[in-house]
Amino acid sequence: MLTAITRGVSPALRSCQLEYLARQEIDLAKAVEQHAAYEACFAGLGVRVVSLAASPDQADSVFVEDAAIVLDEIAVITRMGIPARRTESETIAAALSSFRPLRRIAAPGTIEGGDVMCCGKTLYAGVSRRTNQNGIEQLRAIVSPLGYAVIPVAVHGCMHLKTACSWLGDGRLLMNRDWIDADVFTGLEIIDVPRDEPWAANVLRIGDVIIMPAGFPHIADRLATIGLHLKLVDITELAKAEAGVTCMSLIFSSSG
Domain coordinates of the chain in residue numbers?
2-253
pLDDT at 255: 81
Segment 88-94 mean pLDDT: 96
Q: In CATH, what class is 2-253?
A: alpha beta
pLDDT at 30: 98
**Residues 6+ positions from 126 with CB-CB distance below 8 Å:** 114, 115, 116, 117, 152, 153, 154, 155, 160, 161, 162, 180
Segment 166-175 mean pLDDT: 96
Specify which residues 209 forms β-bridges with.
206, 229
CB of 10 closer than 8 Å to CB of 54: yes
Residue 35 is a catalytic residue: no
Segment 175-195 mean pLDDT: 97
Taking the CA of residue 125 as centre, how many other CA atoms within 13 Å lie in the half-sphere pointing to its CB?
Answer: 26
Q: Is this prediction's pTM over 0.95?
A: yes
Q: How many residues are given for the chain?
A: 256
Nearest to 26 by CA among 168, 237, 252: 237
pLDDT at 91: 95
Model confidence pLDDT, tens digit, residues 129-169: 999 999 999 999 999 999 999 999 999 999 999 999 999 99
CB of 143 closer than 8 Å to CB of 150: yes
CB of 130 closer than 8 Å to CB of 105: no
**Among positive and negative, which fits the CA dihedral 155, 161, 163, 165?**
positive
If phi > 0 it is left, if psi is from -120 to 50 it is alpha, else beta; for residue 38 that is: alpha
Q: Which helix (H) or strand (E) holds 45?
A: none
Q: Which of 16, 41, 158, 247 is catalytic?
A: 247
Segment 54-67 mean pLDDT: 97
pLDDT class of 256 with cuts at 50, 70, 90: low
Residue 56, number of CB atoms within 10 A of its CB: 10
Q: Which of 41, 160, 218, 229 is catalytic?
A: 160
Residue 247 is a catalytic residue: yes
Q: In what order do the strands lie in the sheet with 116-119?
A: 116-119, 122-127, 149-154
